[in-house]
Amino acid sequence: MIVRDDIRNIAIIAHVDHGKTTLVDGMLKQSGIFHSKQEVQERVMDDNDLERERGITILSKNTAVNYKETKINIVDTPGHADFGGEVERILKMVDGVLLVVDAFEGPMPQTKFVLTKALELDLKPVVVLNKIDREDARPEEVVDKVLDLFIDLGATDEQIDFPVIYASALEGYAQEELSATNDDLEPLFKAVIKHIPAPEGEINKPLQTIVTTIEYNDYVGRMALGKINRGQVSEGEEVAICKRDGTVDKKRISKLYAYQGLGRKEIKEAKVGDIVAIAGMEGINIGETIADKDNPEALPFIEIEEPTVSMTFTTNDSPFAGQEGDFVTSRNLKDRLLKELEKNVALRVKEINPDTFKVSGRGELHLSILIETMRREGYEFQVSKPEVIMKEEEGQKLEPIEEAIIDIPEEHMGTVMELLGARKGEMKNMVHLSQSRLRLTFEVPSRGLIGFRSEFLTKTKGEGVLNCSFSHYDNHRGQISETDTGSIVADREGEVTRYGIFTAQERGDIFVEPGTRVYEGMIVGSNAREQDLNINICKNKKLDNMRSAGSDEAMILTPATELSLEESLEYITSDELVEITPKNIRLRKKILNKKTRVKAQKSN
Cα 22 to Cα 167: distance, rounded to the nearest angstrom? 11
Report the interhelical angle of 109-120 vs 139-152 (nearest 10°). 50
Find, among 322, 290, 275, the residue nearest to 91 by Cα. Answer: 275
Give the H or E element holding residue 213: strand 213-217
Cα 126 to Cα 145: distance, rounded to the nearest angstrom? 15
In this structure, what DSSP letter does residue 455 have?
H
Cα 252 to Cα 273: distance, rounded to the nearest angstrom? 21
Annotated binding-site residue? 18: yes
What is the chain's Cα-based Rg? 27
Cβ neighbours, 10 Å, residue 551: 12
- Name the region of 33 (left: φ>0; alpha: ψ -120 to 50; beta: rest): alpha
Annotated binding-site residue? 132: yes
Cα 330 to Cα 322: distance, rounded to the nearest angstrom? 12
Cα 312 to Cα 363: distance, rounded to the nearest angstrom? 14
Annotated binding-site residue? 133: yes
Annotated binding-site residue? 9: no
User: 421: Cβ–Cβ under 8 A, 6 or more apart, which residues?
Assistant: none
Annotated binding-site residue? 19: yes
Do the beta carbons of residue 501 and residue 514 sit within 8 Å?
Answer: yes
> Helices then strands (H, E): number in the chain?
15, 38
Query: Could you tell me the CA-to-CA distances from 41 to 38, 47, 329, 419, 459 in Å, in that order?
Result: 10, 10, 39, 41, 36
Q: Exposed e or buried b for every residue in 559-586, given b needs 16+ CB within 10 A?
A: ebeebebbebbbbbeebbbbbbbeeebb
Annotated binding-site residue? 22: yes
Annotated binding-site residue? 432: no
Annotated binding-site residue? 131: yes
Give the H or E element holding residue 174: strand 173-175
Find, among 3, 24, 27, 7, the residue nearest to 69 by Cα. Answer: 7
Find, among 400, 355, 347, the residue nearest to 373 by Cα. Answer: 347
Tell me how long the chain is. 604
Query: Could you tell me the CA-to-CA distances from 48 to 57, 75, 370, 564 in Å, in that order?
Result: 9, 16, 13, 19
Cα 565 to Cα 386: distance, rounded to the nearest angstrom? 12
Find, among 344, 291, 365, the residue nearest to 569 by Cα. Answer: 365
Query: Could you tell me the CA-to-CA distances from 50 to 26, 47, 337, 373 in Å, in that order?
Result: 22, 9, 19, 8
Cα 369 to Cα 375: distance, rounded to the nearest angstrom? 10
Q: Exposed e or buried b for every residue in 433-453, given b needs 16+ CB within 10 A?
A: beeebbbbebbbbbbbbbbbb
Read off the amino acid at residue 117.
K
* Binding site members: 17-22, 130-133
* Binding site members for GTP: 17-22, 130-133
